[in-house]
């Protein structure tokens, strides 16, 4: 039963669906709490996974955060439907830090290397997360060449603290252009400026289609000359950390489309959000951690073309061997 519950949870079956399924199979009631405990019992395997060495080090790692909601207990008491005194619960938004490894040998390999549920995307949250990856073997001397991130300054500070200047740091172009578009809408408002906004963003996007960093800088200079007076905020946003958005040109033998944006990680995040939407609000931080772990194992299995049934079976027996 335990292994099949893990299998169903990985396929985003809800606790209620699993409860109904196993109540029918066993001919007796199997409560939601029982199903939840069966899933959460693999938590020790999760903590072991976070300390395992990364032997096959990817050349590129993408970092990002996903906001989710978990429930926490308060000190306020209330009566439930059976008139029992229970502590009132309230929702709290937390963020899941995610690191996605990308291999550049042409095989298309990718894998979620680590994740962590924290209160926010502060430097204090990112630093131990990035440092744990370094301790597990994610280092320049073992093959790491570049990290890709969005515009979160705290993440940039954490990467600088752990890696210094030993790895190339690429800012996500998608996030950069999205921020430029936001400023553009502030400065060129209304339907009358719709075509002007479109023209500006086409020119901004064309900068990143340049064949060399020198050409990109020339296009930026021409863009600045044309738009500085009308859209100073959009231009300032584009010029900020511009060198980091074209840093990928320093890497040889790596497809630029692979490392210029965090789009692959964004697609991964959408997969994880499927589980978040199905749960709506996790009952505890432990429940959130274990649910993410199961989804991470499923996604990594799919990308490596391994059946999820086989992987969930191995996951359960790894847990048994860990805690017989």
Q: How far is CA 114 from the centre of its chain?
A: 9
Q: Quote the CA–CA distance of 167 and 169 in Å, as a whole number.
A: 6
DSSP letters, 157-217, are HHHHHHHTTSSEEEE-HHHHHHHHHHHHHHHS-SGGGHHHHHHHHHHHHHHTT-SSHHHHH
Q: Where are the domains of the chain?
A: 2-41, 56-172+262-305, 174-250
Q: Which residues does residue 85 pair with via DSSP β-bridges, in sequence order?
A: 79
Strand partners, 146: 60, 168
pTM of the model: 0.77
| Residue 121 near residue 93 (C-beta atoms within 8 A) | no
Q: Report the run of H or E that residue 101 belongs to, with start and end.
A: strand 85-102
DSSP 282: B
- Name the CATH architecture for the domain at 56-172+262-305: 2-Layer Sandwich (3.30)
pLDDT at 191: 93
Asked if 313 contacts 298 with a C-beta cutoff of 8 angstroms, the reply is no
Whether the Cβ atoms of residue 208 and residue 260 lie closer than 8 Å to each other: yes
Token readout for 311 is: 């992987």
Alpha helices in 63-152 (DSSP H): 123-135
DSSP string, 27-86: TS---HHHHHHHHHTTHHHHHHHTTS---S--SEEEEEEEEEEEEEEEEEEEE-TT--EE
* DSSP state at residue 260: S
* Residuewise pLDDT in 10s, the chain (324 residues): 677 888 888 877 777 888 888 888 888 888 878 888 888 888 888 888 899 999 999 988 989 888 877 766 677 778 777 777 777 777 778 888 999 998 887 787 889 999 998 888 899 999 999 999 999 999 999 999 889 888 777 898 999 999 998 998 888 888 889 999 999 999 999 999 999 999 999 999 999 888 888 999 999 999 999 999 999 999 999 999 898 888 877 666 555 555 555 566 667 767 777 766 666 556 677 778 888 899 899 999 998 999 988 888 888 777 777 654
Q: What pLDDT sits at residue 255?
A: 54
Question: What is the reported pLDDT for 276?
Answer: 66
Give yes or no for a contact between 51 and 137, defined as CB atoms under 8 angstroms apart.
Answer: no
Do 61 and 100 meet the contact criterion of CB atoms below 8 Å apart? yes
């Amino acid at each position: 039963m335990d292994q099949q519950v893990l299998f169903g949870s990985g396929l985003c079956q809800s606790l209620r669906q699993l409860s109904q399924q196993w109540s029918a199979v066993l001919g007796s009631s199997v409560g939601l709490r029982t199903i939840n405990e069966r899933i959460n019992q693999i938590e020790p395997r999760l903590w072991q996974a976070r300390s395992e060495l990364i032997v096959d080090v990817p050349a590129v790692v993408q970092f990002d955060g996903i906001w989710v909601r978990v429930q926490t207990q308060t000190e306020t008491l209330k009566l439930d439907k059976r008139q029992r005194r229970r502590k009132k619960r309230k929702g709290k938004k937390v963020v899941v830090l995610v690191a996605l490894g990308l291999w550049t040998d042409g095989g298309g390999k990718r894998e979620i290397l680590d994740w962590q549920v924290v209160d926010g995307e502060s430097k204090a949250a990112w630093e131990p997360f990035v440092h744990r990856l370094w301790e597990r073997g994610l280092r320049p001397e073992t093959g790491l060449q570049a990290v890709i991130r969005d515009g979160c300054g705290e993440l940039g500070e954490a990467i600088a603290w752990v890696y210094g200047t030993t790895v190339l740091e690429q800012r996500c172009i998608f996030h950069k252009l999205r921020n430029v578009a936001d400023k553009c809408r502030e400065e060129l408002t209304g339907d009358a400026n719709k075509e002007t906004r479109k023209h500006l963003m086409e020119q901004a996007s064309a900068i990143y289609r340049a064949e060399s960093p020198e050409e990109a800088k020339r296009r930026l200079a021409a863009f600045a000359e044309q738009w500085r007076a009308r859209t100073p905020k959009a231009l300032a946003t584009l010029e900020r950390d511009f060198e980091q958005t074209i840093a990928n040109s320093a890497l040889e033998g790596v497809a630029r489309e692979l490392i210029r944006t965090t789009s692959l990680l964004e697609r991964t995040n959408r997969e994880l959000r499927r589980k978040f939407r199905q749960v709506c609000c996790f009952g505890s931080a432990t429940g959130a951690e274990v649910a993410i772990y199961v989804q991470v194992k499923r996604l990594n299995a799919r990308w490596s073309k391994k059946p999820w049934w086989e992987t969930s079976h191995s996951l359960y027996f790894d847990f048994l061997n860990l805690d017989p």
